[in-house]
Structure 1
Amino acid sequence: MNTLDSTLKGGVPHRTRARRRHSAFSPARLGIYAFLLTAAAFFLLPLYVMLVTSVKPMSEIRLGNLLGLPMHFTLDAWSAAWRSACTGLDCNGIRVGFWNSVRIVAPSTVLSIMVGAVNGYALSFWRPRGAGPLFGVLLVGAFIPIQVMVYPLVHVLASVHLFSSLPGIVLIHTIFGMPVMTLLFRNYYASIPQELFKAARIDGGSFWRIFFQLMLPMSTPIIVVALIMQVTNIWNDFVLGLVFAGTKNLPMTVQLNNIINTTTGERLYNVNMAATILTSMVPLAVYFISGRWFVRGIASGAVKG
């Protein structure tokens, strides 16, 4: 009777509450927690080793206690990695590669997103002649390995005097980013009701006016997704930067490889770890700061169509 009264009054029976408390510690839930903790440890352990090693002096690192906390905390390795680490014969640190990467990433990201947005807008609403085959070609281009096209692109850029230059590597990243960006924006615009576009056309809107005044203000979620993807992909690139950037514009990833593989003198593991963390800080910061915007953009239609 008490159970029936509590149920009729909107309360939860005692047995139901007890069952809910026990379900929080069910074997299935404990297994999920164990898997998540194991996966987190698997991915965080290398980061822990890198951080701990980067703040140890070499005298402690030689003792071989890889997981031990530093007995003498020091940031000398970080300063050396940024200012004086040797990338071959040049000993100006990884900061040279950092600013080279900034000069490469900024224009490459903006141009590839702009081209992808215009292509996606045109393929979604205006349907020019041959739009279907063109979209298919762009999709195929997104899955062709980079290594297959390196040799022809070297000849093409050399013929127009853009090989081993900053404009050349920016153009390369724009070309390789265009298929994925077109796919993202085309699918996003395809999820927008056609009635908005038709109403703008009836009001006399032109191609560019509709794009800038109607479509672009609605594209913030997908622009954030594209921004995160392009910044991380271009920043982490190694092959294209090594081949097309030239010795004066080598990105941070190439400079990191040169620091780690420099064999002159003693191998400084703390400096190598500090340089590795410095190289990965920009993509990590982008994900941590914009992660929720990335999920929101995906949920807003980035994979629809």
Structure 2
Amino acid sequence: MTAKPLAFGHIASRVAIHAVLLLAAAFFLLPLYAMLVTAFKDAEQIRSTSLLALPATLDWSAWKTAWSSACTGVDCQGLQPFFWNSVVMTVPAVLISTVWGALNGYVLSLWKFRGSDVLFGLLLFGVFMPFQVVLLPMSQVLGWLGLSSSIAGLVLVHCLAGLAGTTLFFRNYYSAIPAELVHAARMDGAGFWQIFWRIVFPLSTPIVMVTLIWQFTNIWNDFLFGVVFSGTDSKPVTVGLNNLANTSSSVKAYNVDMAAAIIAGLPTMVIYVLAGKFFVRGLTAGAVKG
């Protein structure tokens, strides 16, 4: 049997859909393109060419300046110290908040107790609560704990701020796991932690990927907590980028600012390029169920 040719209307609709998608992609990628070409230009090319013109040569001097010698206020060490502060802050905050949310979701879905649904409802307030509301009480708590203006304090703040969202993800995902699986394991003598680590958590790869990507993006890109709770030696890269862009000089170095912005956003871009498909799979596997 020969395949029937596609109708003209069907072909036209597919072409239209692809054209709209390409236009949308170009619209969203245009700022990134402008930043890239500007970062590779020297000052003369920026003044003499249009914003979207390609650089005559690839000049890496702006990148080197943004990384190691650009001034952020009175300090001229570039983004490097701020970048590593963000790494030291983000990695433990992401891991702790993910495991913490997994445990909460495990308890609230598979080990329900009296009032667990009410507790979950109260916890959901954290998803919708403006972070500005908690700035003052959180600063007092960090002071009591001796964690003010430290990276450890920022880790704690981000763990608490992300707890409601990670709990929501895992609770909804674990609600799809048959309760009989847990009951059977308990009858075989498995305890709370054995069931979690040996049965439930190994089934959680899709939602773990969703939560890791979600938390990494939120924590790395955060500016509010970074500017409020950080000290001189613990400022994250978003605060460093803001300070670099607002530091006045005789001539505005747009190429350095653009290079610095790309450096600051590069980790999240890499995460989405490498693991974006896992994020979509995780969402479709149950992250939005419940």
Corresponding position of 2:51:
66
Unaligned runs of at least 5 residues, structure 1: 1-9
Residue 77 of structure 1 pairs with residue 68 of structure 2: no
Q: Secondary structure at the match of 2:55?
A: coil
Q: Distance in 2 between matches of 1:293 and 1:157?
A: 35
Residue 22 of structure 1 pairs with residue 13 of structure 2: no
> Is the Cα contact below 8 Å between 1:86 and 1:259 reproduced in 2?
yes
* TM-superposed deviation, 1:31: 3.1
Distance 1:239 1:119, change over 3 A: same
Q: Distance in 2 between matches of 1:304 and 1:101?
A: 32
Q: Distance in 2 between matches of 1:202 and 1:122?
A: 18
Corresponding position of 1:210:
195
* TM-superposed deviation, 1:256: 0.5
Corresponding position of 1:44:
29
Aligned residue identity for 1:61? I
Q: Residue 168 of structure 1 is aligned with which of 153, 160, 165?
A: 153
Q: 1:65-144, aligned counterparts within 5 Å?
A: 65-144=50-129
Residue 249 of structure 1 pairs with residue 234 of structure 2: yes
Unaligned runs of at least 5 residues, structure 2: none
TM-score (norm 2): 0.96
The structure with the largest alpha-carbon Rg is 1
Corresponding position of 2:42:
57
> RMSD between aligned alpha carbons?
1.3
Q: Secondary structure at the match of 2:190?
A: coil
* TM-superposed deviation, 1:159: 2.4
Q: Secondary structure at the match of 1:223?
A: helix
Q: 1:227-246, aligned counterparts within 5 Å?
A: 227-246=212-231
Q: Secondary structure at the match of 2:233?
A: helix
* TM-superposed deviation, 1:104: 0.5
175-184 vs 207-216, greater mean Cα deviation: 207-216
Identity of aligned residues (%): 49
* TM-superposed deviation, 1:23: 3.7
Q: Distance in 1 between matches of 2:288 and 2:29?
A: 30
Q: Which runs of 4+ in 1 moved over 4 A?
A: none
* TM-superposed deviation, 1:64: 4.6
Corresponding position of 1:300:
285
272-281 vs 292-301, greater mean Cα deviation: 292-301
